[in-house]
Amino acid sequence: MLGRRQELNLQLNQLIDAVLLVLSLWGAHTIRGSLSGFQDLPEIEPFKAFLWLIVLIMPFGPLFLDLQGFYNFPAQKSVLKSLAQILQALLWLGVLIAGSAIAFRLNINSRSVLVIYAFLSSAVLLLKERIAVAYIRSRARLGEYREKVILAGSADEVLQLSSRFTEDQLAEIEIVKQIDISREPMSELVRALHEYSVGRVIFAAAQTELQLVEKAVAACEIEGVEAWLLADFIRTSIARPAFDMFGPQPMLVFRSTPDTSWEVLTKRTIDLIGSSAGLVFLSPLMLIAALAIRCTSPGAAIFTQMRAGKHGRPFRMFKFRSMYSDAEQRRHELEAFNQMSGPVFKLERDPRITPLGRILRKYSIDELPQLINVFLGEMSLVGPRPLPLYEVANFANPAQRRRLSVKPGLTCLWQISGRNEVKDFETWVKLDLQYIDNWSIWLDLNILCRTVPAVLFGYGAR
């Protein structure tokens, strides 16, 4: 399936799975209720006591399944692969339910219902997928799922394009005609549209005169046939092409960072929940740290500095003060002893750090006020660490600015890779770009989990 049909199919699948997950919860409650009285099991509460779970299950169940790749190429997956993806999604759903129950003091009325639910929902989702796969294969054998398409463009480009189609793509399309629009008259394209009753023409025409491509697209427009133009005439190594609209103007967009999606919205949701919970539960520690700073050295407890945010946009970052009040004035005196290559200033035994500040830095307590920046949307829980504006202005390589293409974060790959053990700024940037190019919700969660022991044991911190 191509284009919108594939997208609609995904959305329909997710909607069906959301309904099945809710029905599985009702079925688990019914099964548990029928067991009441057997083996001294107590009576179960009415189903309305479980309704709050539906608020989590319906949106997040399909989302977790999607993040596990459950909807990708179902016909090519084994049953065990699908089952593993379902179980992983249900595990994260269980973590979300448990976290919500703790955070909002919600009552999980019968844990046995959730145990039965895990088994029942796994079986139902797996059965539904196998039925769908059997249906797809039966339709494919009859040729009903193969869409007729015409390839158009220069002969060489059309040949190259057809050779790059994968088995999965060829199972979805039937190439009924290849037309060289640079040599054949436009009437040949129109005749082929009528003869083969196609609904889509794919153009591979980077080397074809633009006027010919425009005429061919116009012919498709008159016939009401979709025209797809291969967007490989601009070569990029990282940025991914996408189509968008700017008002009435069609735009081909090359993005090297994640586009707005459910994953991006989920990341922001995690930032809001995580920063809110952190500010509430860590407020006693933050209060103690603030009082200790005021009592051990003169100056304010909170240090603020302008840092470079997303796309270099300045914002005021908050930290607990870990240095003496004249630290900024003394920085120029110590620049000759800088131990970090590049524009960043790092000194192993920085004399500007207070005795208490060394403890705060070792366990990253000085970073806790940045939860406010995360809550305000200026930072994220995970992302490249924000640098002062004067350090960003001294970037020697323009490619280093790509680390500014996403929101800065509290923690990152650098944080869990030894922090102050990393002495080369190029290595630091490489870790940041590795994060950006491979970003996913699961990478964020992995970094957050690995940050906890790194902070508790002070790995790489001084």
Other C-beta atoms closer than 10 Å to the C-beta of 370 total: 25
d(CA 319, CA 75): 52
**425-434 residue pLDDT tens:** 888 888 998 8
> What is the pLDDT, as a whole number, of residue 407?
93
> What is the pLDDT, as a whole number, of residue 282?
93
Residues 437 and 288 in one domain: yes
Find out whether 190 and 221 touch, Cβ atoms under 8 Å.
no
Residues 213 and 152 in one domain: yes
Q: Residue 21 above 70 pLDDT?
A: yes
Mean pLDDT within 350-361: 91
Specify the residue for token string 């009082």. Answer: 291
Mean pLDDT within 353-372: 93
Q: Which of 277, 293, 431 is nearest to 365 (CA)?
A: 293
> What is the pLDDT, as a whole number, of residue 192?
93
User: pLDDT band for position 280 (50/70/90)?
Assistant: very high
In angstroms, the Cα distances linking 125 to 84, 110, 117 are 12, 23, 12
Structure tokens at 329: 């004035």
Provide φ and ψ at 443, rounded to 5°. Answer: -65, -40
Find out whether 225 and 200 touch, Cβ atoms under 8 Å.
yes
User: pLDDT band for position 369 (50/70/90)?
Assistant: very high
Residues 133 and 190 in one domain: no
Q: Residue 314 above 70 pLDDT?
A: yes
Residue-wise DSSP of 385-431 = PP-BHHHHTT-SSGGGGGGGGS--EEE-TTTTTTGGG---HHHHHHH
> What is the pLDDT, as a whole number, of residue 229?
86
User: pLDDT band for position 39 (50/70/90)?
Assistant: low
- Tell me how long the chain is: 462
> What is the pLDDT, as a whole number, of residue 86?
94
Residues 273 and 209 in one domain: no
> What is the pLDDT, as a whole number, of residue 199?
83
Q: State pTM to two decimals.
A: 0.63
> What is the pLDDT, as a whole number, of residue 48?
80
User: pLDDT band for position 243 (50/70/90)?
Assistant: confident
Q: Residue 303 above 90 pLDDT?
A: yes
453: helix, coil or strand?
helix
Residues 186 and 306 in one domain: no
- Which secondary structure element, helix H or strand E, spans residue 275, and what is its range? helix 262-281
The residue from 90, 111, 141 where one domain ends is: 141
The residue from 190, 215, 233 where one domain ends is: 233
**Average model confidence (pLDDT) for the chain?**
84
> What is the pLDDT, as a whole number, of residue 182?
87
Structural domain includes residue 179: yes
Structural domain includes residue 327: yes
Q: Which of 69, 405, 448, 72 is nearest to 259 (CA)?
A: 405
First to last CA, the chain: 55
Residues 17 and 133 in one domain: yes
Mean pLDDT within 204-216: 84
d(CA 249, CA 255): 18
Q: Residue 461 above 60 pLDDT?
A: no
Find out whether 145 and 173 touch, Cβ atoms under 8 Å.
no
> What is the pLDDT, as a whole number, of residue 382?
95
Beta bridge partners of 388: 307
Find out whether 180 and 189 touch, Cβ atoms under 8 Å.
no
> What is the pLDDT, as a whole number, of residue 137?
73
Q: Residue 221 above 60 pLDDT?
A: yes
Find out whether 179 and 138 touch, Cβ atoms under 8 Å.
no
Q: Residue 281 above 60 pLDDT?
A: yes
Instruction: Using DSSP bridges, classify how beta strands 409-411 and 380-382 pair: parallel, antiparallel or unpaired.
Output: parallel
User: pLDDT band for position 1 (50/70/90)?
Assistant: very low
As a 3-state breakdown, the chain gives helix, strand, coil percent values, each rounded to 5, of 55, 15, 30
Q: Which of 310, 307, 316, 314 is nearest to 404 (CA)?
A: 310
Structural domain count, the chain: 3
d(CA 189, CA 219): 8
Residues 121 and 24 in one domain: yes
The residue from 141, 156, 175 where one domain ends is: 141
d(CA 413, CA 343): 19
Mean pLDDT within 217-233: 85
Residues 376 and 333 in one domain: yes
Structural domain includes residue 256: no
Residues 8 and 128 in one domain: yes
Q: Which domain holds residue 90?
A: 3-141
Structural domain includes residue 74: yes
> What is the pLDDT, as a whole number, of residue 141?
65
**121-160 residue pLDDT tens:** 999 999 999 998 888 777 666 655 678 899 998 888 888 8
Structural domain includes residue 248: no
Structural domain includes residue 243: no
Mean pLDDT within 430-454: 87
Instruction: Give the orientation angle of helix 111-141 with respect to helix 3-34, to 10 degrees.
Output: 140
Report the CATH number that the domain containing residue 159 is assigned in CATH. 3.40.50.10700
Residues 269 and 411 in one domain: yes
Structural domain includes residue 417: yes
Q: Residue 4 above 60 pLDDT?
A: no
> What is the pLDDT, as a whole number, of residue 3?
53
Structure tokens at 357: 């500040």
Mean pLDDT within 230-234: 72
Order of strands across the sheet that contains 200-204: 173-180, 147-153, 200-204, 226-229
Residues 374 and 416 in one domain: yes
Residues 89 and 164 in one domain: no
Structure tokens at 450: 């690995």
Mean pLDDT within 220-231: 86
**319-348 residue pLDDT tens:** 999 999 888 778 777 877 777 777 888 887
Q: Residue 442 above 50 pLDDT?
A: yes
Structural domain includes residue 111: yes
